[in-house]
Structure 1
Amino acid sequence: MIKIRGLIKRYGEFEALKGIDLDVAPGEFLVVLGPSGAGKSTLLRCINRLAEPTSGDIFIDGQRVAGDSASLRKLRCQVAMIFQHYNVVPRLSVQKNVLTGRLGAMPSLLSWLQVFPCKDIAIARECLRRVELEDKAELRTDTLSGGQKQRVGIARALAQQPKIILADEPVASLDPKTSRTVLSYLKQASRELGITVVCNLHQIDYAREFGERIVGVSAGRVVFEGRPDELSDAALQRIYPGLDEGDARRSSPSAGMAEPALHQFALEEA
């Protein structure tokens, strides 16, 4: 479903991605694991062309991704994004936020007027049902907890009816219980709907628990690729240079920490 060859991204003299080669199968739930600053977010932003690659090729469903406006519109209908900080519109209702995922499939006039056909409203309701928020459809989104806002983000991505979902650190600011809830909804939707998911994480336990395959990224390079049970101590050393056994335990969500840098979770209810 996704094929990447020789992907390089530079910001001035800084090379964020250093020749990434990666294949993602249709319907796969792939976790990209790595520390902050490893290049994970840049990788996702290059896939959906929020960042223009310096060089290299990206293919989606066999088609090379180009940078012209027609190609980008088609790409962004196929590829949905879930962000770390929710990116919901606080004053809109939960349902209206989810319906924004339908804008790319609507005629320009209707999308400008935000007049949604009944079929799109039905799609939004079904997506809210999948994340168990149907009863909150008419509430303003700013009344929800952080975990609920992220579930709105998942529902909005599903409403787009994409082939691919790119999730950029979707649980970085959530507590462990809420994080597992959010990742479970995302993985269930992937399995049931056949959506390919590329999910950036920096939590080792979550990568092992939810990833069907893990790609480890460090300093802009792929340094590990394999099944969760192949994520050995040696592999973790390549992904997190200098990480010792004690650091690995402290990076575990069960220890209440988000990553080896020891960023605290913001505790929020699901």
Structure 2
Amino acid sequence: MIKIRGLTKRYGDLEALRGIDLDVAPGEFLVVLGPSGAGKSTLLRCINRLCTPTQGEIHVDGERVEAGGAGLRRVRRKVAMIFQHYNVVPRLSVRKNVLTGRLGTMPAPLSWFQIFPGRDVDIAMECLRRVELEGKAEQRTDTLSGGQKQRVGIARALAQQPRVILADEPVASLDPKTSRTVLTYLKQASQELGISVVCNLHQIDYAREFGERIVGVSGGRIVFEGGPDGLTADVLRRIYPGLEDRGEPAPRAWQPTRPHNLSVEEA
């Protein structure tokens, strides 16, 4: 679904990404794990061309991602993004926020006046049902909790009917219970709808719990690629160098995570 070869991104003298090679399979839930500043967000932004690579090639669903033109618009219709700070429109209703995920498929005059065909409304409501927010469809989005706003963001991404979802630290602003709820919805979407999900995280426990495959990034390079059981203490030191030098405890080796009970009332 995603094929990346030799991806490099420089900002002046700073090399944010250094020769990244990566493949993501259809329907795979891939976690990109690493500290702040490792290059995780730059990687995601290069995939949908929000950020222009310095070197390298990216293909999504067999189509090369290039700047401008109809080709880029086609790719972006296939790639939805979920942001750390929700990026919802506070004054709009929950339903209208989700419907913005349909704008890329609509004629311009309809999108200007927010006139959505009945089929798009049905799609939006189905996406809200997936994240258990259909009862809040007409509520203003600024009245929701942080976890509920992020669930609106997931529903909006699903309404786009994408082949790929890029999630840039989607739980960084949420408490642990709500974080697991949000990540569970993303994992379910990947499994049930066959959507490839690339999810940036810096929380080791969540990467172990939800990632089918984990890519560890440090200093703009991939330093680990494998399953959760491969996240040994030595590997984690490569991903998070210098922890012990600063007096931080060494990362724990992987332990199986007990199943969690999903409750969404407060999330």
Please, what TM-score do these two structures have when normalized by structure 1? 0.91
**Number of corresponding residues:** 253
Task: Tell me how far apart the structure 1 counterparts of residues 6 and 28 of structure 2 sit (CA, whole Å).
Answer: 22
Report if the CA contact (8 A) 2:83-2:168 is conserved.
Answer: yes
Aligned pairs for 1:15-164 within 5 A: 15-164=15-164
Amino acid at match of 1:246: P
Task: Tell me how far apart the structure 2 counterparts of residues 160 and 75 of structure 1 sit (CA, whole Å).
Answer: 12
Instruction: Provide structure 1 residue ranges, at least 5 long, that are not aligned to the other structure.
Output: 255-268
1:206 aligns to 2:206 (yes or no): yes
Task: Tell me how far apart the structure 1 counterparts of residues 46 and 138 of structure 2 sit (CA, whole Å).
Answer: 35
Q: Equivalent residue of 2:249, what SS?
A: helix
Task: Report the counterpart of residue 261 of structure 2 in structure 1.
Answer: none
Task: Tell me how far apart the structure 1 counterparts of residues 4 and 144 of structure 2 sit (CA, whole Å).
Answer: 37
Amino acid at match of 1:131: V
Amino acid at match of 2:148: Q
Task: Tell me how far apart the structure 1 counterparts of residues 173 and 250 of structure 2 sit (CA, whole Å).
Answer: 20
Task: Tell me how far apart the structure 2 counterparts of residues 112 and 23 of structure 1 sit (CA, whole Å).
Answer: 37
1:180 aligns to 2:193 (yes or no): no
Match of 1:248 among 228, 247, 251: 251
Task: Tell me how far apart the structure 1 counterparts of residues 249 and 213 of structure 2 sit (CA, whole Å).
Answer: 25
Task: Report the counterpart of residue 8 of structure 1 in structure 2.
Answer: 8
Amino acid at match of 2:249: G
Q: Equivalent residue of 1:20, what SS?
A: strand
Amino acid at match of 1:81: M
1:225 is displaced (CA, Å) by 0.1
Task: Tell me how far apart the structure 1 counterparts of residues 241 and 213 of structure 2 sit (CA, whole Å).
Answer: 21
Amino acid at match of 1:110: L
**Cα deviation digits, residues 137-168 of structure 1 (max 9, x gap):** 00000000000000000000000000000000
Task: Tell me how far apart the structure 2 counterparts of residues 247 and 205 of structure 1 sit (CA, whole Å).
Answer: 14
1:246 is displaced (CA, Å) by 2.3
Report if the CA contact (8 A) 1:187-1:210 is conserved.
Answer: yes
Task: Tell me how far apart the structure 2 counterparts of residues 127 and 111 of structure 1 sit (CA, whole Å).
Answer: 20
Q: Equivalent residue of 1:246, what SS?
A: coil
1:247 is displaced (CA, Å) by 5.0
Q: Equivalent residue of 1:89, what SS?
A: coil
**Cα deviation digits, residues 6-25 of structure 1 (max 9, x gap):** 00001111110011000101
Q: Equivalent residue of 1:70, what SS?
A: helix
Task: Tell me how far apart the structure 2 counterparts of residues 221 and 246 of structure 1 sit (CA, whole Å).
Answer: 24
Task: Tell me how far apart the structure 2 counterparts of residues 106 and 15 of structure 1 sit (CA, whole Å).
Answer: 39
1:243 is displaced (CA, Å) by 2.7
Task: Tell me how far apart the structure 1 counterparts of residues 193 and 178 of structure 2 sit (CA, whole Å).
Answer: 23
Task: Tell me how far apart the structure 2 counterparts of residues 241 and 247 of structure 1 sit (CA, whole Å).
Answer: 10
Report if the CA contact (8 A) 1:236-1:243 is conserved.
Answer: no
Q: Runs of 4 or more off by more than 4 Å in structure 1?
A: none
Instruction: Provide structure 2 residue ranges, at least 5 long, that are not aligned to the other structure.
Output: 258-265
Report if the CA contact (8 A) 2:8-2:17 is conserved.
Answer: yes
1:203 is displaced (CA, Å) by 0.2
Task: Tell me how far apart the structure 2 counterparts of residues 247 and 169 of structure 1 sit (CA, whole Å).
Answer: 23
Task: Report the counterpart of residue 226 of structure 1 in structure 2.
Answer: 226
Task: Report the counterpart of residue 236 of structure 2 in structure 1.
Answer: 236
**Cα deviation digits, residues 203-254 of structure 1 (max 9, x gap):** 00000000000000000000000001111111101100023482536xxxx9
